[in-house]
A and B are shown apart, each in its own frame.
Chain A
């Protein structure tokens, strides 16, 4: 099983700041089969990024994904008030597993 470790656990930032979230895999994720989701309280997760760097339909271009093999990053270039949420990475290279999440909170 591929274990995904996200860091930091919590990120305290102000609106307008840049957020950088990390996702590290215990073994290589082939073909960059890595996705990112956003989840707000009481809601289902929403797909942001698939294939490590492709934005899902309707996702603003302030969200970007990068990385390969075992190290992946989600960047939010300028935080909007609606971006404060929990973010999960997920791999679909070997079965499907999720990271434990990074909470982006208002500082």
Chain B
């Protein structure tokens, strides 16, 4: 069974940092682009970043570029999102997902709350 499990969410103050992790199983992780997406409370969905199979290409939505860094460790079948200079508007459930264009499947999500 293809599965993605996120962790690392929590409460952080504005300006703080957090690192999210996503462990994949049930498929050859190194063979796929991977992505992070988020969903604010009562809000819609937003693509955040994606990364090529070997990590050589990375893309970000404008609102996080320069503050967030996506990375991966194929030996550990793991995806990461380093989030710095966090703002209140970054508060959301963060999902990892397999894919570059469309996303299938998604993990269950991890909640990030940015508040003082």
Contact = CB atoms under 8 A, between A and B. Distances in A.
Interface of A: 33, 35, 37, 43-47, 50, 56-57, 88, 90, 92, 95-101
Interface of B: 44-47, 61, 95, 100-109
Given A45-B106, A50-B102, A88-B45, 20 more contacts: A33-B101, A35-B102, A37-B45, A44-B106, A44-B107, A45-B45, A45-B95, A46-B104, A46-B105, A47-B103, A50-B101, A56-B104, A88-B44, A90-B45, A90-B103, A92-B102, A96-B47, A96-B101, A98-B45, A98-B47
A95 B41 CA distance: 23
Contacts, number: 49
Nearest to A47: B104
Contacts of A56: 104
14 contacts: A44-B105, A44-B106, A44-B109, A45-B45, A45-B103, A46-B104, A47-B102, A50-B101, A56-B104, A90-B45, A90-B103, A92-B100, A92-B101, A96-B47
B105 A98 contact: no
**B interface: dominant SS:** loop
Nearest to A92: B101
B23 to A, nearest CB: 15
A35 B101 CA distance: 9
A33 B101 CA distance: 8
Contacts of A44: 95, 105-109
